Amino acid sequence: MIILIQCRDRVGLVAGISGVLAELQLNITSMREYVAVSDDRFYMRVATATSTNEKRLETALKKVLPDNAEITIHINPDKKIIVLVTKEYHCLSDILIRNYFKTLNASVQCVIGNHNVLKDICNRFEVPFHYISHEDKSKEDFERLLSDQIRKYAFDYIVLAKFMRILSPAFVANFQGSIINIHHSFLPAFIGANPYRQAFERGVKVIGATAHFVTNDLDEGPIIVQQTINVNHTHTTADMVKAGKEIETLVLATALKLALEDRVFIYGNKTVVFE
């Protein structure tokens, strides 16, 4: 069982929470906490080897926590995800392989693409693929069809695995805090399209990738994971693209592992990540 708590900070929170868990005979296997001093905000993730009635636990915790504390309890930590794609396969294929071998800590409910290019690989892994073209449609109509298809499934997260469409504020608001994107750049550098060409023309010595939650501000949502690799003057734009795809795959996989294991808290435009 996973217990997530965020609330206003005060003295004695850890002792109070531990006391409740002991009283309910919950064996703690992992406990991580963090206080954002500037915001006076407390965050905790607790994993237990045993479980109990969720309502009973929540009621007991509320008695020792400040008012308006946010408590999330997952008896079964396995998650469900929906993946959105365009044409690039590298991130999707990694997700499908992990899903097939049950190492993703989630199940892929479906893949939705605005091109039909990746249907075959989804068929091979027996994952439903839905094609919704953005062509000959207004942005509003396209996103309405996309939302309708998404809502046919139960899910915890929507993963943009190289989904090359800018989503409207209205769409993002409907799925606030549940959309994870992989950006082909070490943000905030090279926002938008063609980041590797931008990096090549700038003569940078490192390139990277960023996994973040999607907000109304393009490529500026709360960051989950970032990584970089070294490049030099011998790297062409094509070399950077190839290296970039590898690090994008790794960064997205790392971010998904953290999110799917309930190790990420969002506060403001930042995250607390219990790695």
Q: Tell whether 59 and 108 lie within a shared domain.
A: no
For the stretch 255-265, pLDDT in tens is 999 999 999 99
Tens-place pLDDT, residues 121-141 = 999 999 999 999 999 999 999
Question: Mean pLDDT across the stretch 39-63?
Answer: 95
List residues bridging with 209 in a β-sheet.
227
Q: Are residues 39 and 151 in the same domain?
A: no
Are 20 and 118 found together in one domain?
Answer: no
User: Cβ distance 75 to 50 under 8 Å?
Assistant: no
> Cα separations (Å) of 66 from 13, 32, 71, 264?
9, 19, 11, 21
Please give the Cα distance from 214 to 173 (Å, whole number): 10
Residue 165 and residue 142 in one domain: yes
- Helical spans, DSSP H, in the chain: 13-23, 54-62, 90-100, 119-124, 139-150, 169-174, 195-202, 237-260
Cα end-to-end span (Å), the chain: 17
Find the CATH number of the domain harbouring 59.
Answer: 3.30.70.260
Asked if residue 21 and residue 106 are part of one domain, the reply reads no
Q: Sign of the CA dihedral 36, 37, 43, 46?
A: positive
Q: Comparing 10-24, 48-62, 179-193, which segment has the lowest mean pLDDT?
A: 179-193
| Tokens of residue 53, six digits | 């009635």
Q: Is the same domain home to 17 and 150?
A: no
Catalytic position from the list 9, 78, 219, 239: 219
237/172 Cα distance (integer angstroms):
32
Residue 40 a catalytic site member: no
Same domain for 39 and 101, yes or no, is no
- Please tell me whether residues 176 and 195 are part of one structural domain: yes
Judgement on whether residues 63 and 193 belong to the same structural domain of the protein: no
Domain that holds residue 102: 79-273
Look up the CATH number of the domain holding residue 267. 3.40.50.170
β-strands 28-36, 41-48 pairing: antiparallel
Show which of 74, 94, 117 is a domain's final residue: 74
Reported pTM: 0.90
Q: Which of 264, 267, 222 is nearest to 4 (CA)?
A: 264
Q: How many residues does the chain have?
A: 275
Single residue among 23, 41, 74 that ends a domain in this structure: 74
- Total domain count, the chain: 2
Point out the domain boundary residue: 52, 74, 96.
Answer: 74
Residues 237 and 104 in one domain: yes
Using alpha carbons only, what angle is made at residue 253 by residues 247 and 258, rounded to the nearest 5 degrees? 125
Same-domain pairing of 59 and 120: no
49 C-beta neighbours (distance < 10 Å), count: 10
Which of 260, 144, 148, 269 has its CA nearest to residue 212?
Answer: 269
Looking at the structure, do residues 236 and 254 belong to the same domain, yes or no? yes
Per residue in 81-134, pLDDT (tens digit) is 999 999 999 999 999 999 999 999 999 999 999 999 999 999 999 999 999 999
The Cα 9–Cα 36 span in angstroms is 9
Which pLDDT belongs to residue 187? Answer: 47
